Amino acid sequence: MVSAWASENRLVLNEITAIPKLLKVLVLSGCVVTVDAMGCQRSIAEEIVHQYADYVLAVKDNQGNLLERVQDAFRFLPCRSVSQVDVGHGRVETRTCSVIDDLS
């Protein structure tokens, strides 16, 4: 399922197997596009960048050596990280977000 949410119009668009088509009709400049592992495709990332937007793509270990390459990038390249700790419901959860600014 593909879902696009237009906050100003309070509109959600859903379509099956339509990520590339949907990206072409949306104005993405300045936006952050999130895509699950199904949509983690080079052509999709290229379309998002072509429209001057940023992306967050999910990567699973069934995508060749991509997961290993991403993990290595976070091991060996400079990155910024922010962590948040929440306590509740009988557990402690730590969430960490790491960002690599320059992959060149």
Model confidence pTM above 0.95: no
Alpha-carbon distance of 39 to 34, in angstroms, equals 9
Beta bridge partners of 86: 93
Closest C-alpha among 2, 5, 4 to residue 17: 2
Residues 37-77 have pLDDT tens digits of 778 888 889 999 999 999 998 888 888 798 999 999 999 99
Q: Report the pLDDT value the prediction gives residue 5, as an integer from 0 to 100.
A: 64
Model pLDDT for residues 78-97, shown as the tens digit of each residue: 999 999 999 999 999 999 99
